[in-house]
Amino acid sequence: MIVIDSLTKVFRTKKKQITAVDNINLSIAEGEIFGVIGYSGAGKSTFIRLLNRLEEPSGGSISIGEKEITKLSSKELRIARQDIGMVFQHFNLLWSRTVRENIAFPLEVAGVKAEERKRRVEELIGLVGLAGREDAYPSELSGGQKQRVGIARALANNPKVLLCDEATSALDPETTNSILDLLVRINKELGLTIVLITHEMQVIQKICNRVAVMEAGRVVELGDVLDVFSHPKQPITKKFIEQALGFEDEEDGLSSIVDSYKTGKVLRLHFVGEMANDALISRIAKDFNVEISIIQGKISQTQRGAYGTLVIHMNGEQSEEERALSYIKETKAAKVEVLRNAE
């Protein structure tokens, strides 16, 4: 759906020049939810704004569907943009217009007739869950409701691609979740391709299929979300994952807990994808004469399955513990690490 080739953007100011986007090459498939993550200044906003030419590239090309966006005249671009909806962090609503009138606005611009416009607006209001708020003004809405208007407006002309520029960054965690659920639903129901930028790994984890990690204008890591989460390569990616899972804090307390066990084994189990759904713990407890207690655990869901770790204490006869350990290794239900092996 989207092919990006050698995309570069250089800002030139009087004093210096900044390469905000530095030779990015990417292909994004139809129907995919693709996330770009990076810290402030990494070039994410510039990147997403280049996709619909809110920013003009300094070099490289972008194709969306059949169209090479970077070659279009300004008139052609205006038409092509109807296929590319955009959702903004600060909503960008028209404050003197009601919800209904805000959603109708892009339809008016596209020259849609009044009757069809009315029908489409009602349909969109239902789709984004704003029934009952049609006549409210933006100032009367919560942040989540404002973003629902922003999403409805972006979808008005049936775009093929939806660009989300930090769409949930101004929202509290609960509202963020409801907006992310809405994005997943419209992705599935409408088959829409979604490209989003964020600085929050939780957003990537919850809804994206693939992720690109950006640093200093470059894509430094790219892959399936579950693969990147389970085998991050770059230090920056590891930092983002720690931020999402909160590992750092937990490691602190863990070593003293592990040391406090004077018998049995302390194991760390790493689950990925399908494996995490296995009822491994209950099977060990049932089939082996060992007692299991869970010390610490963190299992997270992504769009392609779960991943995470579980730290357990296993206590029993030495030989029975060894049998259970071999069993875990053989089933490949989880990768296992022995943190403590006490007699």
Q: How far is the CB of 146 from ligand ATP (least distance, A)?
A: 20
- Could you list the residues that contact ligand ATP (CB under 6 A)? 11, 13, 18, 20, 38, 40-46
Q: How far is the CB of 14 from ligand ATP (least distance, A)?
A: 11
Q: Name which of 13 and 73 has its Cβ closer to ligand ATP.
A: 13
Q: How far is the CB of 39 from ligand ATP (least distance, A)?
A: 7
Q: How far is the CB of 254 from ligand ATP (least distance, A)?
A: 33
To which residue do tokens 């599935």 refer?
Answer: 188
Q: Name which of 22 and 242 has its Cβ closer to ligand ATP.
A: 22
Q: Name which of 127 and 203 has its Cβ closer to ligand ATP.
A: 203
Q: Name which of 31 and 41 has its Cβ closer to ligand ATP.
A: 41
Q: Name which of 169 and 300 has its Cβ closer to ligand ATP.
A: 169
Q: How far is the CB of 87 from ligand ATP (least distance, A)?
A: 15
